[in-house]
């Protein structure tokens, strides 16, 4: 028997839908969405706290973006090596150039 999960959602829990047109999301777009989940400050907060939180959000966005780009490069290396090992060096080279 699988135990039931007791998940408590915050009162302000909401669902958002993000879409693109004929492309995937960029690291910048994903990083911005991620940072907004990590850092949340009310517009009614004390101005100095609100401003500090917004500066932190911009900084954390850049850090997340950097590591997303690193993950993309690492994944492409993995795909390149898998294609090379499978005997498809020309296809592997196309992936490397992306």
DSSP string over 54-88: HHHHHHHHHHHHHHHHHHHHHHHHHHHHHHHHTT-
Per-residue pLDDT tens over the stretch 75-89: 999 999 999 999 999
- Categorize the per-residue pLDDT at 30 as very low, low, confident or very high, splitting at 50, 70 and 90: very high
Q: What's the CA gap between 49 and 61, in Å, rounded?
A: 18
pTM of the model as a whole? 0.76
Q: Is 31 exposed, middle or buried (0-12, 13-18, 19+ CB in 10 A)?
A: buried
- Categorize the per-residue pLDDT at 16 as very low, low, confident or very high, splitting at 50, 70 and 90: confident
- Categorize the per-residue pLDDT at 14 as very low, low, confident or very high, splitting at 50, 70 and 90: confident
Which residues have CB under 8 Å from 38's CB, separation 6+? 57, 60
Cβ neighbours, 10 Å, residue 26: 13
């Amino acid at each position: 028997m699988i135990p039931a999960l007791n998940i408590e959602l915050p009162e302000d829990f909401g669902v958002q839908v993000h879409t693109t047109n004929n492309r995937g999301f960029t690291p910048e777009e994903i990083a911005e969405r991620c940072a907004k989940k990590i850092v949340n400050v009310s517009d009614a907060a004390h101005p100095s706290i609100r401003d500090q939180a917004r500066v932190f959000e911009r900084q954390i966005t850049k850090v997340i973006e950097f590591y997303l780009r690193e993950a993309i490069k690492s994944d492409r290396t993995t795909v390149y090596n898998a294609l090379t090992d499978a005997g498809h060096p020309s296809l592997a080279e196309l992936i490397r150039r992306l």
